[in-house]
Structure 1
Amino acid sequence: MDRTSRDQGWRVGILFSRSGVSGVTESEHFFGTALAIDEINTAGGVLGRPIEPICYDPGGENEGYRAFARRLLAEDGVEVIFGCSLSASRKAVLSTIERHNGLLWYPSIYEGFEYSENVLYTSATLNQNVFALADFLLQEYGPRIFIVGSDYIYPRESNRVMRDLVEAKGGEIVGELYAPLDGDEDVHREMVAEIRRADPDAVFSTVVGRGAERLYRLYADAGIDRRRQPIASLTMSEGQIRAIGPQLCSGHVLASHYFQRIESEENRRFVSAFRQRFGEERPTSMWSETAYAQVHLFAQALEEAGTLDSERLGAAAMRQRVAAPGGELAFDGDTRHVWLTPGVGVARDDGQFDVAWRSRRPVRPDPYLAATRFEANWLEEGLAS
């Protein structure tokens, strides 16, 4: 018997850090999740039952993710968890999720090269962001690229792929540095000093969380011309720019499937609802949009499956399609990742992005880089393989 049959609602776990090293971006995950649940419940829930969230804040600590995942699955009667952002936190809970046969909906970009029947991966893999970004940097700024990152698996793997791309296309990596995940200001000041000495055409950064906020502030303090030598990222979106200060970030580059300024009816509705719920001053971003969209995918799958059982719900999810704010969203049944529409934006003085390039259609996920062509010009093609 599905354990929700004994309950009034569909009980789910919410596991995002609203404090700690990744508190800004994971708060946005939380807000997008909360908004979607509110919308679904206001419309009558799923099969006449509301979604009932149980929320924990791991504080950015991997042991906290692990402990709260265990509590949700073993004590709180939860089978579905929306949560985690950094790859380190996903890795921390994975064995617990699999042991209890739960289903993790993971709304963050990541390095790929993973598959689990107990995880649904709902954001970009490297072929959906890094590949177009490499072409954009080489064509718009020049061949000399400096790479920086936080010292854990996601930056290391993403930077490895970026290096391969740049070198395959005739560019040059003129430096590569890493900082501890929550490294202090001195560490990032030295990183900026090394960048200045190398004088690259652009910087590719996978520094995340509070470290990224320090890096961008120090880059501005150093007086480097951001419009000529930008930092390009996969993560530095509208919400974190707001936390840093838009005047310190204009000219920097982001590769993402979502920007608040995307023109579509679905996005206009999302932005309006988000502002009404959380305040006019709080922007939407790739973090809130993905978390929001995956809850609506979940609700459609639950409507079909009628159960939170991970196998039946996961199978139903593979058949769903949703018109998300960032474009049409659907799963690839072979990989349990989603088709997305890649884009590249340049930060403006107001904290928003001018969308400089966007794919003409959604791109199939290739988390194992088995079919993606490194030599292709993604700015010309932008197409699924």
Structure 2
Amino acid sequence: MLTTVAFGASAIGAQAQETIPVGVLHSLSGTMAISETTLKDTVLMLIDEQNANGGVLGRQLEAVVVDPASDWPLFAEKARELLTTEQVAVIFGGWTSVSRKSVLPVIEELNGLMFYPVQYEGEESSRNVFYTGAAPNQQAIPATDYFLEELGIEKFALIGTDYVYPRTTNNILEAYLLDRGIAAEDIFVNYTPFGHSDWSSIVADIVALGADGKRVGVISTVNGDANIGFYKELAAAGISADDIPVIAFSVGEEELSGLDTSNLVGHLAAWNYFQSAESEANTAFIAAWKARMGEDAVTNDPMEATVIGFRMWVAAVEAAGTTDVDAVRAAMYGLQVPNLTGGIAEMLPNHHITKPVLIGEIQADGQFDIVSQTEEVPGDAWTDFLPESAVLISDWQTLNCGMYNTETETCVQLNSNY
């Protein structure tokens, strides 16, 4: 599926040649459509708004929308189509890390540019990707600290969907928990396939973890519509947040809008934005979104990351005076734009941004009560809690390297682009 959407003035004749094509690579069908369709709509709204303000470099933006349909190899095919047939200047897209990993070889081969708007496991730095979602030090580690220090959690159930993001994140968290004095036998890890629906045995195992009286907490990297079954099973088992709190990294306002939240009150999520954040920028964004999508429409963290990435790209293009990928990339470093929580997002040489860390409690209306918020934290491409990564840094501005080994003072060569 490919849809070209032109905004603003009529795109006919020579004027059509003057548009700037923008790729939108989000699943509009399949298990991830519950989360990704909203991001497609976010990009379309941002393009519409930018065109109403005169476009970019005096040209209108034109959205080229494709549907990779939650099919990970199809992400690579659609990315190639966007960059070759459609010749887009930039791609906004992806949700799961496996979809991003599928796209990486293509955009690196063709020197494309992609903005990835979702929290992820880190342990990656591509010259062709700007990561506007959270790295582990901006979500997973602070969430674990909240469990340890604020809730007194003594045993941890790390549950996730079976792909790279949950597995790598949980590897990091296991190492971190061991470093914080949690015994290996007090850490339960479980993975389920995309779309998993039968959670009864897993919930029973989580409950059994606390049979010795120690307080159990769940850290969830479950993605997509599998979350619906997980939370329903928790409720069916009579488990409240007071009994076994869950802190999720992939459940936001959009996912909760499809659930009966009455039994979820008090469970948690860790993000860098919530709709309930109080700022003038957020109030204006929410109003624009509801005006476009309807009064019941909600906002969420990956939407904010999409906004930040889009506005950074526009600013970089205008600063560079061109949509040329190399020139835009060079203009990105140090660029600052307002986030929606009242602070500033800055693009770092490692292609990650500064973000505040927010912990929110689920409320009966599907919104979050923000119980903890930090100042802006710089994203770290390589974690400090895995020995092989602790010696690595990413610096595309000065070192032109995504994996620079600080001990050997050499750049690790992953592919021809590094």
Q: Normalising by the residue count of structure 1, what TM-score does the alignment of the two structures yield?
A: 0.91
Q: Does 1:351 align with 2:366?
A: yes
- Partner of 2:106 in structure 1? 96
Q: Does 1:198 align with 2:209?
A: yes
User: Is the 8 Å Cα contact of residues 249 and 271 (structure 2) preserved in structure 1?
Assistant: yes
Question: In the alignment, which of 309, 314, 339 is matched to residue 324 of structure 1?
Answer: 339
- Partner of 1:16 in structure 2? 26
Identical residues among aligned pairs (%): 32
Summarize deviations over 1:263-307 as a string: whole Å, max 9, x none: 111111111111111111111000212112211111111111122
**One-letter amino acid matched to 1:127:** N
Larger mean Cα displacement after TM superposition, 190-199 or 162-171: 162-171
Secondary structure, aligned partner of 1:35: helix
- Partner of 1:378 in structure 2? none
**Matches of 1:316 and 1:52 in 2, distance apart?**
22
Secondary structure, aligned partner of 2:258: helix
**Matches of 2:72 and 2:140 in 1, distance apart?**
26
**One-letter amino acid matched to 1:218:** E
Alignment of 1:19-98 (within 5 A): 19-98=29-108
Alignment of 1:266-285 (within 5 A): 266-285=281-300
**Matches of 2:90 and 2:154 in 1, distance apart?**
45
Question: In the alignment, which of 378, 383, 386 is matched to residue 364 of structure 1?
Answer: 378
Q: Which has the larger Rg?
A: 2
**Matches of 2:315 and 2:23 in 1, distance apart?**
18
* 1:225 CA displacement: 1.7
**Matches of 1:353 and 1:141 in 2, distance apart?**
21
**One-letter amino acid matched to 1:236:** V
* 1:165 CA displacement: 2.3
Q: Does 1:337 align with 2:352?
A: yes
Alignment of 1:241-252 (within 5 A): 241-252=256-267
Q: Does 1:145 align with 2:161?
A: no
**One-letter amino acid matched to 1:273:** A
* 1:256 CA displacement: 0.8
User: Is the 8 Å Cα contact of residues 141 and 229 (structure 1) preserved in structure 2?
Assistant: no
The alpha-carbon distance between structure 1 residues 340 and 5, as it changes in their structure 2 partners (threshold 3 A), is farther
**Matches of 1:153 and 1:55 in 2, distance apart?**
26
Q: Does 1:124 align with 2:134?
A: yes
The alpha-carbon distance between structure 1 residues 227 and 7, as it changes in their structure 2 partners (threshold 3 A), is farther
Larger mean Cα displacement after TM superposition, 226-235 or 165-174: 165-174
**Matches of 2:137 and 2:105 in 1, distance apart?**
26
* 1:227 CA displacement: 3.0
**Matches of 2:239 and 2:81 in 1, distance apart?**
48
User: Is the 8 Å Cα contact of residues 26 and 287 (structure 1) preserved in structure 2?
Assistant: no
**Matches of 1:114 and 1:5 in 2, distance apart?**
40
- Partner of 1:381 in structure 2? none
Unmatched 5+ residue regions in structure 1? 373-385
**Matches of 1:45 and 1:104 in 2, distance apart?**
20
User: Is the 8 Å Cα contact of residues 160 and 190 (structure 2) preserved in structure 1?
Assistant: yes
* 1:189 CA displacement: 2.3
Secondary structure, aligned partner of 1:244: coil
* Superposed structure 1 runs of 4+ greater than 6 Å apart: none
Unmatched 5+ residue regions in structure 2? 1-13, 387-418
* 1:356 CA displacement: 0.8
User: Is the 8 Å Cα contact of residues 32 and 289 (structure 1) preserved in structure 2?
Assistant: no
User: Is the 8 Å Cα contact of residues 273 and 358 (structure 2) preserved in structure 1?
Assistant: yes
- Partner of 2:390 in structure 1? none
Summarize deviations over 1:179-233 as a string: whole Å, max 9, x none: 11222x22x2221121122235211111111112221121111111223312111
User: Is the 8 Å Cα contact of residues 331 and 339 (structure 1) preserved in structure 2?
Assistant: yes
Summarize deviations over 1:314-352 as a string: whole Å, max 9, x none: 11122421112133111111x111111111111111111
**Matches of 1:32 and 1:246 in 2, distance apart?**
25
**Matches of 2:385 and 2:300 in 1, distance apart?**
29
Q: Normalising by the residue count of structure 2, what TM-score does the alignment of the two structures yield?
A: 0.84
> RMSD across aligned C-alpha pairs, in angstroms?
1.9
Alignment of 1:102-181 (within 5 A): 102-139=112-149, 140-172=151-183, 173-181=186-194
- May I ask how many residue pairs the two structures share in their alignment? 366
Secondary structure, aligned partner of 1:243: coil
Secondary structure, aligned partner of 1:337: coil
Secondary structure, aligned partner of 1:76: coil
- Partner of 2:398 in structure 1? none
The alpha-carbon distance between structure 1 residues 282 and 141, as it changes in their structure 2 partners (threshold 3 A), is farther
- Partner of 2:404 in structure 1? none
Higher relative contact order (CA 8 A, sep 6+): 1
* 1:106 CA displacement: 0.8
**Matches of 1:124 and 1:272 in 2, distance apart?**
25
Secondary structure, aligned partner of 2:382: coil
